[in-house]
Structure 1
């Protein structure tokens, strides 16, 4: 199984681990390209990947401005959904779209485990 297939499988595993809470997930590269996703619409996934990269960039700038150290995660809480962004080293980010009222602590636990695996996969693919 190639890197793309492994990443896709990892995203489905993440979604399936909390099916009542996670609506979908994706991996965006640092420059906003879609690496893999489980969202229902490919066009939406491509747009979201670009927005993930932009959001990470703004969040990094804020962390730098506040001397907060290296950015690790960003969260967006809206009326209907939650979006958690987890940096994958300097290669991109994992975005998890969750239902309103989802157990963020549990999502964080599952997603943070996957970030390490994705980082290893992307590092190996670029080596």
Structure 2
């Protein structure tokens, strides 16, 4: 039995379970909140795709990502999600369709330089 409160005693397994489960389940949400907060603090981002890759700029910096760094794409009704990086570092770039007058052209460009996400 995992949890037992018989005779006013609490088993160590119950205590560990009560502490570890919320930490494990809450860690991904905490990480996402931290990432969103860090991005929000930098203000508006502008992404300019071209034949060489993507230029990502905000008020603080400009970064250029080659298409070879963006291996996969996933298209949703509202955005293109580009995924890349290596085993240690993941790179995710969101391209909202509302940011362009020609979403079909953006889709063609991403499809030409990246592979569709397997299973997506």
Same fold per superposition (TM over 0.5): no
Which protein is richer in helix relative to its size?
1
Larger Rg: 2
- What TM-score do the two structures reach when normalised by structure 2? 0.29
TM-score (norm: length of structure 1): 0.28
Q: Which has the higher strand share?
A: 2
